[in-house]
A and B are shown apart, each in its own frame.
Chain A
Amino acid sequence: MHRFANPSQFMRVAEAMLPWMVALCIPLMAAGLYFGLWASPADYQQSETVRIMYIHVPSAFLAQGAYIVMALGSASFLIWKHPLGDLIARAAAPIGCIFALICLVTGSLWGKPTWGTYWVWDARLTSMLILFFLFLGYLALANAFDDPARGDKPAAILAVVGIVNIPIIKFSVYFFNTLHQKSTLFGDLFSSGEEAGASGLQQPDIAAAAAQQGSALPPSMLLPLMLMLAAFSVFFLILLVLRLRGELATVRLRALRAGLRAG
């Protein structure tokens, strides 16, 4: 495991996997968009706006995923002093930040026709906004020092401290009585069946019946959602490798410049 903590070793594997990931991402994304935009039914209550879900849910998932990647990278950088951990965290932060923004924007566009408002101060929305702020704080702190390498440890500590927000986002719709609907994808995981769909967006009895069988989504909607989740995840990995390449080049450039100045 620690063998891959060497950045150039890691990059060799990552670069070899990159074309395969691109080859996987394009058909997944295309199929997900096809099933999401054309081949799936419109919701009987929300009509066509339900298609926002195929962007909104994957970006929310990946914003949190990127934060977890960032926090794990930072933690391994703090514990084992692996430079790779810091590089991964720095590479993941802007991607997660943009995914969080996409999630907030699509969510508010979806909220207008279904809830009648662009924004409510509901627990899930607020904690997603806090996640966005944490990404901004991390980026600001990592770049706040005259010596760029000086920001690595403070930013890593901040990333680890901020991880408390992730479970709050995850469970906010169960802890607090909110407008945001509960998870329909894994309906029976944390709540009893009748609670899962009772937030008003689906017809409660149908959703509850479906939730007892696992997922409250019909297969025609579950398929594009799953495809988009997979496509977004691979897309995230591609972006991560590309950004890692850039971060690594920056570090090497900095070392070269320092060497030139010294020599």
Chain B
Amino acid sequence: MTEFLAGFSAVLIRDLRLALRQSADLALVLGFFTIAASLFPFGVGPAPETLARIAPGVIWVLALLSVMLSLDRLFEQDLADGSLEQMVLTPRPLVLTVLAKALAHWLTTGLPLIAITPVIGILLNFPTAGYSTLLIGLALGTPSLSLIGAVGAALTLGARRAGLLIALLVLPLYIPILIFGVTAVDSVLTGFEARAHFLYLAAILVAAIPLAPLAAAAAVRHGVEG
């Protein structure tokens, strides 16, 4: 058990260290999130009430897209320099390695996105009453995005036009998270409780933690061999 944990934390620390050393990548994701959000006032007009109405949906969709655009970081580089093959060859279960990589991905993508969300909220005139719901929803939803994204990233290893292909595979699977995330905020803003939506988001996460790494590990193994 302890050696499993040791392997898990070794991969986690390695991936975190790599991500922090290439922090320009991290800044790119946050930059995309901010710039894309600031396009909406130009697109739909700067009227505060219009922006307030679309803000929850815009923030969630952009969070989805930002996570998706950073998915290539999960396995692509490790496959190119051969370290992914070494990870497959180790006696440690590949499922745990994939889980550690997904966690590292969330810590370096999902968490910064959540941290910057209040600023985006101000840009889009997000209603103050919905902030805590939005942040809790993102905290419950973005780990699932990283986990499901890991499956997509693993499946497209070595494919032509992998970046576009990932969008086609992963975005349909992201839709339920988007729906519950946005309806949670909407229900709070219209005076209802968000608890049911949080429970759905949590249920998706609880299902994704064991199942997504299983599928992703099978795909990684095939991707390394091929």
Contacts and interface: CB of A to CB of B under 8 A. Distances in A.
Interface of A: 78, 126, 130, 133-134, 136-137, 140-141, 144-147, 150-151, 153-154, 157-158, 160-162, 165, 168
B169 A141 contact: yes
Interface in B114-166: 151, 155-156, 158-162, 165
A220 to B, nearest CB: 39
B215 A157 contact: yes
24 contacts: A130-B175, A133-B168, A133-B171, A134-B172, A137-B168, A137-B172, A140-B165, A141-B156, A141-B165, A144-B159, A144-B165, A145-B159, A145-B160, A147-B226, A150-B158, A150-B226, A153-B222, A154-B219, A157-B155, A157-B219, A158-B155, A160-B215, A161-B151, A161-B173
Closest 3 pairs (CB-CB, A-B) = A144-B159, A133-B172, A154-B155
A136 B172 CA distance: 10
A154 B222 CA distance: 8
Interface string B16-41: 00000000000000000000000000
Contacts of B175: 126, 130
Contacts of A146: 160
Size category, B interface: 20 to 34
Q: Is chain A's interface secondary structure helix, strand, loop, or mixed overall?
A: helix
B6 interface: no
B159 A153 contact: no
Nearest to B171: A133
A154 B226 CA distance: 11
Interface string B168-196: 11011101100000000000000000000
Contact of B215 (A126, A141, A161): A161
A210 B187 CA distance: 36
Contacts of A168: 176
B169 A158 contact: yes
A157 B172 contact: no
B223 interface: yes
A157 B218 contact: yes
B159 A141 contact: yes
- Most interface-central of B156, B160, B172, B222 (chain A CB within 10 A): B172
Contacts of A161: 151, 173, 215
Contacts of B219: 153-154, 157
Given A141-B159, A141-B169, 18 more contacts: A78-B218, A133-B168, A136-B168, A140-B165, A140-B168, A140-B169, A141-B156, A141-B165, A144-B162, A145-B160, A151-B159, A154-B155, A154-B156, A154-B159, A154-B222, A157-B215, A160-B215, A162-B172
Nearest to B155: A154
A130 B160 CA distance: 23
Nearest to A147: B226
Interface in B204-226: 215, 218-219, 222-223, 226
Contacts of B168: 133, 136-137, 140
A160 B151 CA distance: 12
